Amino acid sequence: MNMDYSDILQRLKTSPFRAKFSLDSKDKEYVSKKGMDVIQSHARDFIKLRLAPAKIENDGKQTPMRGHPIFKAQHACACCCRGCLEKWHKIPMGSELTSQEQEYIVGLLMAWVDEKMK
Ligand SMILES: [Zn+2]
């Protein structure tokens, strides 16, 4: 499934905090070396472990600012915590993310990475 994320990506750019994230040369090298499929599987794992559960102990602090291109994508795309997911993507807090919601998020993160790799 190929969703069109251009509207939400455009909207995220109106936030100075979100817009400041980008991939540095090390991130880009990492993405090129691993390939998009591997990066996508990392994204799936991060979302499943850190964002999908109904209750997250350290919500709001679970996503590092660097260390993996997907962490940066999560901040840039407001998929860093359940609070931001609710505010920006209207995905309510307090219940486990469905597989559809997880795929929406992964797709958005990959669209952002793809844009930054160009
Ligand atoms: Zn957040």
pLDDT along the chain (118 residues), means of 10: 86 97 98 98 98 96 96 98 97 97 98 97
CA of 61 to the centre of ligand 1 (A): 8
Q: For residues 68 and 87, give the distance between their C-alpha atoms in angstroms, rounded to a whole number.
A: 24
CA of 60 to the centre of ligand 1 (A): 5
Residue 2's pLDDT is what?
61
CA of 62 to the centre of ligand 1 (A): 9
Strands (E), 17-108: none
**Residues contacting 39, CB < 8 A, separation 6+:** 31, 69, 70, 110, 113
Residue 79's pLDDT is what?
98
Buried b (16+ CB within 10 A) or exposed e, 27-47: beeebeeeeeeebbebbbebb
CA of 90 to the centre of ligand 1 (A): 13
Query: Is residue 51 a contact partner of residue 103, using CB atoms and an 8 Å limit?
Result: no
Residue 3's pLDDT is what?
80
Query: Is residue 109 a contact partner of residue 79, using CB atoms and an 8 Å limit?
Result: yes
